[in-house]
Amino acid sequence: MTPRNEKLEPPSDDKRWRIVQATMQRNGYERDGLIETLHTVQESFGYLDDESLRYVAASLNAPLSQVYGVSTFYHLFSLKPAGRHTCVVCLGTACYIKGIPHLLKEIERTYGIKAGETTSDGHLSLITARCLGSCGLAPVAVFNGEIAGKIEIEHALARLAALREAEDVRQA
Amino acid sequence: MKRPFKTRIKTLKIDGIDVGAREDETILELAQENDIFIPTLCHLEGVHDVGSCRLCLVEVRGTNKLLPACMTYAEEGMEVITNSERLQAYRRQVLDLLFSERNHVCSVCVSNGHCELQWLAGKLGISHVGVPYLYPQLEVDASHRYYSYDPNRCILCTRCVRVCDEIEGAHTWDVMGRGVECLVISDLNQPWGTAESCTRCGKCVQVCPTGALFNKGRAVAEMTKRRDFLPYLQTMREGRK
Amino acid sequence: MFDRLEEITKAEQETAGRFDHTVDVCVAAGCMSSQSVAIKEALEKEVEAHGQGHRCRVRGTGCMGLCAAGPLITVDAEKPGEIMYKQVTVGDAADIVASLDSTPVERLRCRTDVPFFQRQKKIALENSGLIDPERIEEYIAREGYSGLMRALTEMSPSDVIDEVVASGLRGRGGGGYPTGLKWTTVAKSDGDVKYVICNADEGDPGAFMDRSVLESDPHRILEGMAIAGYAIGASQGYVYVRGEYPTAVARLKTAIRQARRANMLGSGIGGTLFNFHVDIRLGAGAFVCGEETALIASIEGKRGTPRPRPPYPAEFGLWGRPTLINNVETFANIAPIIRNGGDWYARIGSGASKGTKVFALAGSIINTGLIEVPMGTPLREIVYEIGGGISGGGECKAIQTGGPSGGCIPAGYFDTPVDYESLSALGSIMGSGGMIVMDESASMVDVARYFMEFCMTESCGRCVPCRVGTVHMHNILDKFSRHEATPHDLELLEKLCDMVRNTSLCGLGQTAPNPVMSTLRYFRDEYMDCMMPELNGAERVGELMEVAR
Amino acid sequence: MSEKPTLATVWLDGCSGCHMSFLDIDERILDLAAQADLVYSPLVDTKEFPEMVDITLIEGAVSSEEDYHKIRMVREHTRLLVSLGDCAVTANVPAMRNRFAVRSVLERAYIENADLNQDIPVQVIPALRETSIPVHQVVPVDVFIPGCPPAADTIFFALTELLAGRKPDLRTTTRFGA
Residues A55 and A91 in one domain: no
Range of the domain at A63: 16-73
CATH number, position D55: 3.40.50.700
Which residues have CB under 8 Å from B51's CB, separation 6+?
B42, B68, B70, B71, C307, C308, C463, C505
Which residues have CB under 8 Å from C385's CB, separation 6+?
C115, C119
Residue D107 lies in a domain: no
pLDDT of A164 higher than 90: no
Residue B178 lies in a domain: yes
Residue D115 lies in a domain: no
Domains, chain C, with CATH or none = 19-112 (3.40.30.10), 144-341 (3.40.50.11540), 355-439 (3.10.20.600), 444-529 (1.20.1440.230)
Q: Which of B57, B83, B109 is the last residue of a domain?
A: B83
Residue D86 lies in a domain: yes
Residue B236 lies in a domain: no
Residues B52 and B100 in one domain: no
pLDDT above 70 covers a percentage of chain C that reads 97
pLDDT above 70 covers a percentage of chain D that reads 99
Any idea which of A34-48, A121-135, C184-198, D131-145 has the lowest mean pLDDT?
Answer: A121-135
The model's pLDDT over C74-90, given as tens digits with 9 standing for 90+, comes to 999 888 888 999 999 99
Closest CA in chain B for residue A77: B177
A171 backbone dihedrals φ, ψ, rounded to 5° = -70, -40
Residue D116 lies in a domain: no
Q: Which of B83, B102, B124 is the last residue of a domain?
A: B83
Residue ranges with strand state E in chain D: 6-11, 37-40, 53-59, 62-64, 78-84, 128-133, 143-145
> A3 pLDDT band (50/70/90 cuts)?
very low
What is the helix, strand, coil percentage profile of chain D, to 5?
35, 20, 40
Q: Output the pLDDT for position C535.
A: 59
**Number of compact structural domains in chain A:** 2
Residues B104 and B220 in one domain: yes
Which three-class secondary structure state does DSSP give residue B208? coil
Q: What is the mean pLDDT of chain A?
A: 89
CATH number, position B209: 3.30.70.20
CB B171 within 8 A of CB B228: no
Question: C305-338 in b/e burial notation, b at 16+ Cβ within 10 A?
Answer: bbbbbebbbbbbbbeebbbbbbbbbbbbbbbbbb
C205 backbone dihedrals φ, ψ, rounded to 5° = -65, 135
User: Which residues of chain C neighbour D78 with C-beta distances below 8 Å?
Assistant: 542
Residue B240 lies in a domain: no
Residues A67 and A47 in one domain: yes
Residues B41 and B121 in one domain: no
pLDDT of A5 higher than 80: no
Q: Output the pLDDT for position C101.
A: 86
CA distance B211 to D177: 13
> B241 pLDDT band (50/70/90 cuts)?
low
Chains linked to B by 3 or more Cβ pairs within 8 Å: A, C, D
Residue B217 lies in a domain: yes
Q: Output the pLDDT for position C546.
A: 63
CB C233 within 8 A of CB C274: no
The residue among A152 and B221 whose pLDDT is bigger is A152
**Number of compact structural domains in chain B:** 2
Three-state secondary structure of C36-81: HHHHHHHHHHHHHHCCCCCCEEEEEECCCCCHHHCCCEEECCCCCC
CATH number, position B26: 3.10.20.740
**Mean pLDDT, range B24-41, rounded to an integer:** 96
> B1 pLDDT band (50/70/90 cuts)?
low
Alpha helices in chain D (DSSP H): 17-23, 28-35, 65-76, 86-90, 102-107, 152-163
Q: Does B136 touch chain D (CB under 8 A)?
A: yes
**Mean pLDDT, range B135-146, rounded to an integer:** 96
Residues B30 and B146 in one domain: no
Long-range contacts formed by A38-44: CB under 8 A, 24+ apart: A38/A67, A38/A70, A38/A71, A38/A74, A38/A77, A38/C284, A39/A76, A39/C243, A39/C282, A39/C284, A42/A76, A42/A77, A42/A78, A44/A16, A44/A19, A44/A20
CATH number, position A115: 3.40.30.10
Range of the domain at D17: 6-97+129-163
CA distance C206 to D17: 56
CA distance C73 to C92: 11
Q: Which of B83, B99, B127 is the last residue of a domain?
A: B83
Range of the domain at B72: 9-83
The model's pLDDT over D24-81, given as tens digits with 9 standing for 90+, comes to 999 999 999 999 999 999 989 888 999 999 999 999 999 999 999 999 999 999 999 9
Contact B52/C492, CB-based, under 8 Å?
no
Q: Output the pLDDT for position C536.
A: 57
* Chain C nearest C-alpha distance from A31 (Å): 7
Contact B171/A69, CB-based, under 8 Å?
no
User: Which residues of chain C neighbour D167 with C-beta distances below 8 Å?
Assistant: 544
**Number of compact structural domains in chain D:** 1
Residues A66 and A119 in one domain: no
CA distance C316 to A25: 27
Residues A109 and A56 in one domain: no
Residues B214 and B97 in one domain: yes
The model's pLDDT over C187-245, given as tens digits with 9 standing for 90+, comes to 999 999 999 999 999 888 888 899 999 999 999 999 999 999 999 999 999 999 998 88
Three-state secondary structure of C487-503: HHHHHHHHHHHHHHHHH
**Mean pLDDT, range A58-83, rounded to an integer:** 94
> A1 pLDDT band (50/70/90 cuts)?
very low
The segments of chain C whose pLDDT lies below 50 read: none
Q: Which of A73, A97, A116 is the last residue of a domain?
A: A73
Residue B123 lies in a domain: yes
* Chain B nearest C-alpha distance from A166 (Å): 37
**Taking the CB of residue C155, how many other CB atoms lie within 10 A of it?**
17
Residue B26 lies in a domain: yes
The model's pLDDT over D108-140, given as tens digits with 9 standing for 90+, comes to 999 999 888 888 888 888 999 999 999 999 999
Any idea which of A96-110, B45-59, B172-186 has the lowest mean pLDDT?
Answer: A96-110
Residues B182 and B92 in one domain: yes
Mutate to test the interface with B, among C309, C316, C503 (most CBs of B within 10 A): C503
Q: Output the pLDDT for position C545.
A: 60
pTM for this predicted structure: 0.93
Residues B161 and B200 in one domain: yes
The DSSP-derived string for C108-163 is GB--SSSHHHHS---STTTTTTTS-TT-HHHHHHTTTTHHHHHHHHH--HHHHHHH
Q: How many CB pairs under 8 A join B and C?
A: 89
Q: Output the pLDDT for position D107.
A: 94
Residues A60 and A119 in one domain: no
Residue B237 lies in a domain: no
Question: Does A have 3 or more CB contacts under 8 Å with C?
Answer: yes
Contact D139/C538, CB-based, under 8 Å?
yes
Q: What is the mean pLDDT of chain B?
A: 93
**Mean pLDDT, range B109-129, rounded to an integer:** 94
Contact B197/A66, CB-based, under 8 Å?
no
Contact D90/B129, CB-based, under 8 Å?
yes
Contact A138/C363, CB-based, under 8 Å?
yes
> A129 pLDDT band (50/70/90 cuts)?
confident
Q: Output the pLDDT for position B231.
A: 80
Q: Which of A36, A52, A73 is the last residue of a domain?
A: A73
Residue D174 lies in a domain: no
* Chain A nearest C-alpha distance from B154 (Å): 17
CA distance C169 to C163: 10
Residues B99 and B72 in one domain: no
> D172 pLDDT band (50/70/90 cuts)?
confident
